[in-house]
Structures are given as C-alpha cells and as structure tokens.
C-alpha cells in the first residue's frame, strides 16, 4: 500500500506555511542525504543544514528560521520535528485491524471483547478480562484474569499482562513486555526469605507506550501507577509501587527501584538508575547511566558519568579514586604549612 | 474471595504476643497512612512512627521496642517485617490450582506430569520432562526435553526452560524468564567466531524465585547452579557457570558474568555487575550499580557509585577525572618543594 | 546419543599435530581438574598449567609452547581455544532437525517454508514470510509478515521477529529475543509526545547469534543493520538505526543507543553503553560497564569504571567527586603561592 499526497494536501491536513509548488507529489519521508524524487525531507538539526543544497528531495519541512534556506517546495513549521512525525504518520498509516478472534486464541470465561477488537493466533485472554474497541492483541499475548484494556490498544506478540491490571486507551506495548509481575518483596525470617504477597496492581493511563522486554511490577500493597502519555523504551525495569508522572519519557535499560515517584515531563536517560523511595520533581532530566541516589526537588539536568579514556589512562587515573580523601587531606596540610611559611616570612 | 481473621486467630497461627482486643476482625493489611477499619498495619521503619497516632487501622504489628507505642489492638513480634509478610500471605492466599492439562497445551512424548499439576493453555512440554505435584505451568510456557521441575512450582506465562535443566521444589518464575539458554561462548578462529557448544545445564535448588525477563544461561562444560532460597528480581543476567549461594538476593538489572561464584546470604544491588571468574564471600552486600572487578574475600558492604549532581557541576568536576594522576603528581611536587623551602628556612 | 572418537580421528578431522597414542578413545571434553578417563581436556590459560600434572584426562589439547608440558596423548594447535571449541562441537552435535510443521503452528497466507525446515508447536508465521532450508523455528516463536529467514536458522522458543525484517543464513536466536520492535522515536508537540512511525527494518547478515531477551529495534527511516558474524549476548538493547560491524561481539546487558555505528571486530563489555550517533572504529574494545560518550576513531581498549571499595571507604572518597574542580583550583593556588615564596626567597 503506497500513499501519495501533494504538498498542498499535507499542509491542508497538518497546517504549516506552504512555500513553492504545492502540487508536488510526496510518497515517502526520508533524511536529506538519502532523499529522492517523490520524497520529502526535513531539517531539525542545524548540523545538517549544508545538506539542504545537495538534497534530491522533492520537498522539505523547515523551521521558521530556515524558511529561506532552500528554494525547494517546502512547509514551514514552528516545530519541524513534530511536523516530520505527523507527515510520517500520514504516509505510513498503521495496517487496518482485522476484527475478530483467531480460532487458536483461548478466551477465558466471562471475558468481554469488543466486536471491533482483534485477538491474534495463540493469544490467551483471562477470565472476565475486558478488551476495548479496536484493540489489537498480538499473537501469543497472555492477558490475565480481570485485566481491563482500553480502546485502540496495540499489543505486539507475546506481551504478558498479569491479573487485575487496568490500562487506559491507546496503549502500545511491544513484544516481551511484562506488566504486573510480582514486585521484589521478601523478608528475612530465621535464615530464610519469606515472600511478601504483591497484592497491588499496575494501573496505566492513556497513550502510554511500553518497549520490548520492559517489565513493570505490580504494587506490594498499593498500585504501581504509570500516568498518561508516559513513553518507556525497551528493557526498562519499573519496580513495585513506582509512580511515573504524565508525559515522562524513559530511555532503554533504565531501572526505577521500588516506590520511587517520578514527576511529569521528566526525561530519564538510557541505563539510568533511580533508587527506591526517591522523589523526582517535574521536568527533571537524568543523563544516561546516571544513578540518582537522593531525591531531586528542582527541575533541571542531572548527571553522573565517569568519562571514559584509553584503558591505560583510565587505569592510571582511576587508581586514585580510592585515595581521594587522602588527597584532600594532603592539600589541606599543604595549605596550612604554606600559610605558616608565609606568616613566618612576613615577620 | 475475602478472608477475615480475628487478631487472636492470626496470633494463634503465627505466634507473637497479643495485646488488646483479640476479637477485632481483620481482612486486609496495608500501610499506616492508608489503613481503614478492618485493616491491620505495621511499623517496620522508625521514620513512620509518628503515623501510629493518626492511623485508622484496627490493629497493628509492632516490634518489641514499640510494644507501648500504641494502644490499638496489636501483635508484638521480634521480626515485625517477617510477621507482616506472613499476615499478608494469610489474607492473600494463592488462588487454588485447577489440576489438569488444557486442551491447547502440547505435551511431548514420555513427559510425566503429576496428576495434581496444572498445565495452562498453549504451554509446550518437551519429551520426557517431569512436572511435580501441584506445579502450575502458565500459558505459553515452553519446557524443554528432559527438564525436571519439582513440586509446587509456579511458572507465570511465557517462561522458557531449555532442555535438561533440573529445578527443585517451590520455584516461582515470572513471565519472560529464560532458564538454560546458551552461555556466551565463542572462540576467534582465523577472523571468524566459532561457537563453543554449551553442554552444561542450569541446576536450581528449592524455594528459588526468578523475576520477569531474567535470564540464566546453561553452563559451557559444567552446570550453572542456583542454590536453595536464592531470590532473583527482574531483568537479571546470570551467565554460564555462575554459582549463586543459598539465600542470596539479587535486585533488578544486575549482571553476573561467567563463572563468578557468589556466596550465601549475599545481597546484590540493582544494576550491579559482577565480573567473570570472581568469588564473593558469604554475607557480602554490593551497592546498586556497583561494578565488582575483583574477588571479595570478606563479608561486608561494598560500593562504587559516582555521585550525581547538576549537569553543569558534573561537567566541571568530571573533566578532572581524566587528570587525577597528574593532580596527584602536582601534589607530590608541592609537598617536595614545600619541604625544601621549610628546610632552607630552618637553616 | 554418545559419540566416541579416537584422538587420531579428531586430528584427522580438525588438523593439529598429534603426539602420543592416537588410539585413545574420547567421548567428552572437560576442564583439567574435572576430567576423567575417556575425556579430553585443554590448556588455554597459563594459570591452570599446574593442573597438567594431576589431570585424569586421557588426552589434551595444547598450544605450541606447551607441547612438551605433558606426556599424555595430545594434539598441538596454534589456537588451542578454537580447537577446543571444534572438538566440543564434534562431540556434542546439534540434535537432528525433524522437518515439518507442527499441527498447532499457525502459518500465514503466502508463507513459503522450506520442506526441510521445522516449525514447532504454537509457532506463528506471518503472511508471505520465507523460512529457509533446515531452519528450526522453536515453540511459540512469532515471525511477522514478509520476514525472510535464511537457511539453518535456529530460533529457540518464543523469539519474536517483527514484519519485514530480513535475516541471513545460520542465525541463532535465543528465547525472548525481539527483533524489529519499534525504535524509541517520539516528538514533543504542545505538551504531548507524538509517535514517529518506525518504518525501517532490521537487516541481519549471516552467522549472527542473538542472546536471550536481547532486543533489536527497527530503523526509524532507514534500517538497523547487524553485519555478518556479529555475536550478541543476553539482555542487550540495540536501538534504531544502529549498525554493528561484522564479527563484533557484545557482552550481556550492553546498550547501544540510536544511530550509533560500531566497527568490525569490536568487543563491547557487559553492561557497557554506547551513546547515540557515535562512531566506533574497527577493533575497539570497550570495558564492562563503560559509557562511551563520544566517538572513538582509533582501535584500542577503552574503559571508565569506578573502582569499588568498602562502603565506608567509598563514602569517604566519593564525596570529593563533587568538589574535584575546587580541589584543582586549590592546587593551582598552592602552586602559585609556592612559586611566589620561592621567588621572594631567591631574592
């Protein structure tokens, strides 16, 4: 299925200011250096500006400051990156959902599946689960008893949602994601760990995306909560009783420990770790691979990355990290002795 | 299903010292600040002591030192956290197992499945596998040929166990866990990697819990061994030929490299890394995100975390990490010159 | 099935220089300390040389420098580690593939499955997918529409490959691996994240191995590319539009961010992070847990690991990391003042 739109049609649907020939036909979106005739490209990062002169694209999406930087047919937007996303969505629509339940799917007693929903082969839906309109449950997904999934959910193959979890509309969940597994709750008793039952749920708002092999544990007593618009990349671990505020984005491999509360519009870098019971304010950015070991009360960017170097240089430098305190004491002694010398000299 | 017990019945089953009205009826356990009538709460962290005065709980679990800190009906325990876990287990029992093999499960030739076991929809059991009494194999699980799984195992949907692995009683394995995948064994030969066959197994003791999407590789020549009572959180990687000692707990996202031997009763923090071929003594605690790069022979707590700060402060400070050795040399020069100055001055 | 070969037969098949009794029969390969009669062992790490004297192995694989270090029947190789791998493969052949499609597998319209391929129980193959000769698709695997998989692929249970991905010959993919999930592409628009359609594919060369629960995202516009002979361990995250050069090996839990380009014959340590849009030259080695924050143009070994220590020592030392810049300034002041003192004294 190949969609073609004129530049004018695109601008009519998505807004923006059209400059040049609106009749040019567009069927693909791509980068400046790879674009060919019939394709639209975009400039969202000034370091690629020089490619404007040589691109073979038939049209461009440009920011307001770049309106005059090319003579090609172009749409000017105050947010060219979002505009690019919208054009790409126009040109690459989701495949239409084929409603119905595959013959090999297994549907639990009392489950209510919207007639417009699609349940793929070998999916297993628990008792009394509710699947909303136009939802797509991919092959091999396992949806637990009493789970509620909203409209237009799109679960790729092999997503697991444990019993009792509640999910809003427009969920996207990628393969291998696990929602509602037990939190890591154990108590030591006479030399043995006892399991603490995890009786909370995972409650997920609207328009959340969950990446491949990401795990979100159910709460121990209360719920784990993922608010509206949260975007989670792949391989993220969200522990029990975490709350992630609306529109926060978390990059791959990050880990958020139990009962941490993350604000709204935060951006957590790849591989970052947020320790348990901490609170992060709204609009906090955490750099990749940074461990956050205490609460952050103030919006802003935070980091803790050890700069890499050649192995031999690293070795030479890193060895001193075990002696920093001693170094500081040596500096202090130097300062005191120098002060003494200066005083004596002044006499 | 809602269970109710009087405080007296709880104390009769679990021990502890009952103070106050034992006839009060309890049906839920929750935190001090959220508790309502009919609910029991607990104090296990002194920072919440002030909530004792205002809680609406009908009863409490308290440590011996806090016996007089409330007038509510209460049970005094020398380990209130474990007591809380036990009360929660009483009030939140596992759903009863419905024995039998679902019609869509696929059972390999020669498999021996206990009559009390439950094999859920679309599960696939390999040839000659053995599944113990009261075991629950969740939807979509794949159990390899010759695998032995003990009694009362509870496998959530989509657990995979590769051929020949041997597992004790009371295993809990969460969705996406993979047990027995090949270790990362490769040898470079004339510009190409050759695969080293991974012919060991994974051998798991009793009462082990394995978190969602955690992976445990089979051994290269010998077995990978997880001893009794080990608790593994989500997204952990256990490489080939690792041995994890009994009752050790490992938090999410940790990685344990090949042939590492971890002692008993260790606690490994989230995201920590244990390099290959190392040995950790019993009772070693490793902080979150800490890389252990050499063996630890002595019980105790170990850490290596770079403290985070505001991005601009981090940048200003971190740049010097590549020059620590130079800094130390500058300090040494200062010390020597100061010494010279002092000596000359004394003359 | 137990295979036995004489030492002479092994040398005839694999080369190497045979010393001693070639008629000795070998049926297993194991380590020096565990070897018994009928077993062959090997020395690839000089720290085990002392075990040569006491081993019960019936034969040995030794490097050229160790040819005289034992009197046991032995094969001398210029690469004893690769030789060990080859002997192990001889003694532990893969189980033969039983061709055919299991009755519970679900095959999409237009799929072309080689007659020698094996499709296991509950596997789901998409429309127009192509599965090559002698490929093994394990239980519960989900292969998307239009996917092409080459010959001799071996997919363990529950691998997911999204639509349109293209994979060469001899793929090994372990359970839980996800290939072709959406990259993490989002654009902020008036307070909401918009999804950027991920319309590229994942293109994988020949002889690639992908570990358990590893994820490889499809490209946003162009493809994500994994070249020939790349070996990925477990729980690795490969983001959209990454390119990994031929014969590069990546250890468990590593994360490679979007559009990073890794050279050929690189070795990336466990838990390492490569930030987005960076380039790594060929033959770059990155130590475990090291974050690479800028491009590496030169072959060599690179590291950034914070050395661990006892918790109290770590605490004492780490606190100064937030004051390194101040320390450097104090050293500078000391140097200047000392210089002044020296000058004044010289007068």
- What confidence score (pLDDT) does residue A67 get? 94
Compute the nearest-CA separation of A232 from chain B (Å).
15
DSSP 8-class letter at C120? -
Q: Take residue C167 and report the two structure tokens written for it.
A: 């994979």
Q: C296: which DSSP letter?
A: B
How distant is the Cα of A228 from the closest Cα of chain C, in angstroms? 10
pLDDT at residue B2 in the model: 79
Distance CA B118, CA B138 (A): 8
Tally C-beta pairs within 8 A across A and B: 228
- Average pLDDT in the C140-151 region? 98
Note the pLDDT of residue A342: 85
Chain C: nearest CA to A73, how far in angstroms? 21
Instruction: Give every residue of chain B whose pLDDT is below 70, as ranges.
Output: 1
| Closest chain B residue to the Cα of C120, Cα to Cα | B124
The C-alpha angle C169, C172, C176, rounded to 5 degrees, equals 135
For residue A1, name the pLDDT band (cuts at 50, 70, 90): low
- For chain B, give the secondary structure using H, E and C: CCCCEEHHHHHHHHCCEEECCCCCEECEECCCCCCCCCEEEECCCHHHHHHHCCCCCCEEEEEHHHCCCCCCCEEEECCHHHHHHHHHHHHCCCCCCCCEECCCCEECCCCEECCCCEECCCCEECCCCEECCCCEECCCCEECCCCEECCCCEECCCCEECCCCEECCCCEECCCCEEEECCCCEEEECCEEEECCCCCCEEECCCCEECCCCEEECCCCCCEEECCCCEECCCCEECCCCEECCCCEECCCCEECCCCEECCCCEECCCCEECCCCEECCCEEECCCCEECCCECCCEEEECCCCCEEHHHHHHHHHHHHHHHHHHHHHHHHHHHHHHHHHHHHC
Chains contacting B (3+ CB pairs below 8 angstroms) = A, C
pLDDT digits (tens, 9 = 90+) for B216-265: 999 999 999 999 999 999 999 999 999 999 999 999 999 999 999 999 99
Longest dimension (CA), chain C: 99
Please give the Cα distance from A273 to A345 (Å, whole number): 53
Give dist(CA B178, CA C159) in Å, integer.
11
Asked if pLDDT for residue A345 goes beyond 80, the answer is no
Question: Catalytic positions of C, please?
Answer: 240
Name every chain B residue with its beta carbon within 8 A of the beta carbon of C34: 221-222
Indicate which of A215, A311, A324, A329 best probes the interface with B, i.e. most B CBs within 10 Å of its own CB. A215
Model pLDDT, residue C127: 97
User: Which of B240, B247, B320, B323 is an active site residue?
Assistant: B240
Q: CA of B344: which chain C residue's CA is closest?
A: C345
Q: Which of C140, C235, C251 lies at the smallest CB-CB distance from B215?
A: C235
A130 to chain C nearest CA, in Å?
24
Q: What is the pTM of this model?
A: 0.97
Mutation target vs B (from A177, A220, A255, A316; most B CBs, 10 A cutoff): A255
Which pLDDT does position A47 carry in this prediction?
A: 86
What pLDDT does residue B1 have?
Answer: 63
Integer Rg of chain A from CA = 27
Residues of C in contact with A79 (CB under 8 A): 187, 189
- Model confidence at A50: pLDDT above 90: yes
Of C293, C301, C313, the CB nearest to A322: C313
Task: For residue C129, list chain A residues with Cβ-Cβ distance below 8 A.
Answer: none
Which pLDDT score, from 0 to 100, does residue C342 have? 85
Q: At what angle do helices B80-91 and B7-14 cross, to 10 degrees?
A: 110
- Nearest residue, CB atoms, B255 vs list C104, C158, C270: C270
User: Tens digit of pLDDT for each residue in C288-297?
Assistant: 999 999 999 9
pLDDT band at C1; cut points 50, 70, 90:
low
Question: Least CB-CB distance to C176: which of B176, B306, B320?
Answer: B176
| Rounded distance between C-alpha atoms, residue B266 and residue B244, angstroms | 9
B interface mutation test: which of A194, A281, A318 has the most B CBs within 10 A?
A: A194
Using the predicted structure, report yes or no on whether residue A132 has a pLDDT greater than 90. Answer: yes
Residues of A labelled catalytic: 240
Q: Are A161 and A149 in contact (CB under 8 A)?
A: yes
Q: Shortest CA distance to C72 belongs to which of C21, C120, C136, C6?
A: C21
Of A142, A188, A291, the CB nearest to B289: A291
- Assess whether pLDDT exceeds 80 at residue A346: no
Pairwise CB contact (< 8 Å): B323 & A316: no
Residue at token pair 């030192």: B65
Q: What is the mean pLDDT of residues C116-138?
A: 98
């Amino acid at each position: 299925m190949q969609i073609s739109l004129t530049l004018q049609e695109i601008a009519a649907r998505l807004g923006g200011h059209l400059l040049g020939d609106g009749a040019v036909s567009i069927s693909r979106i791509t980068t400046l250096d790879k674009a060919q005739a019939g394709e639209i490209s975009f400039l969202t990062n000034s370091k690629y500006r020089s490619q404007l002169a040589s691109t073979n694209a038939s049209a461009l999406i440009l920011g307001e400051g770049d309106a005059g930087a090319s003579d090609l047919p172009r749409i000017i937007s105050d947010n060219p990156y979002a505009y690019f996303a919208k054009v790409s969505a126009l040109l690459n629509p989701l495949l239409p959902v084929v409603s119905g339940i595959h013959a090999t799917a297994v549907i639990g007693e009392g489950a209510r599946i919207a007639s417009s929903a699609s349940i793929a082969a070998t999916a297993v839906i628990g008792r009394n689960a509710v699947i909303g309109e136009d939802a797509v449950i991919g092959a091999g997904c396992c949806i637990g008893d009493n789970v509620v999934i909203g409209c237009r959910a799109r679960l790729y193959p092999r997503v697991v949602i444990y019993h009792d979890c509640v999910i809003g509309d427009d969920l996207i969940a990628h393969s291998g994601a696990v929602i509602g597994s037990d939190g890591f709750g154990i108590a030591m008793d006479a030399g043995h760990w006892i399991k603490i039952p995890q009786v909370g749920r995972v409650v997920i708002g609207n328009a959340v995306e969950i990446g491949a092999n990401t795990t979100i544990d159910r709460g121990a007593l209360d719920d784990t909560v993922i608010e509206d618009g949260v975007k989670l990349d792949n391989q993220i671990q969200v522990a029990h009783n975490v709350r992630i505020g609306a529109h926060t984005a978390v990059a791959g491999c990050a880990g958020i420990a139990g009962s941490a509360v993350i604000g709204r519009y935060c951006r957590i870098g790849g591989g970052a770790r947020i320790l348990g019971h901490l609170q992060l304010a709204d609009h906090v950015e955490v750099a990749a691979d940074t461990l956050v070991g205490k609460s952050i009360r103030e919006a802003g960017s935070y980091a803790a990355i050890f700069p890499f170097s050649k192995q031999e240089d690293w070795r030479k430098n890193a060895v001193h990290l075990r002696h920093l305190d001693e170094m500081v004491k040596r500096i202090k002694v130097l300062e005191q002795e120098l002060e003494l010398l200066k005083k004596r000299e002044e006499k």
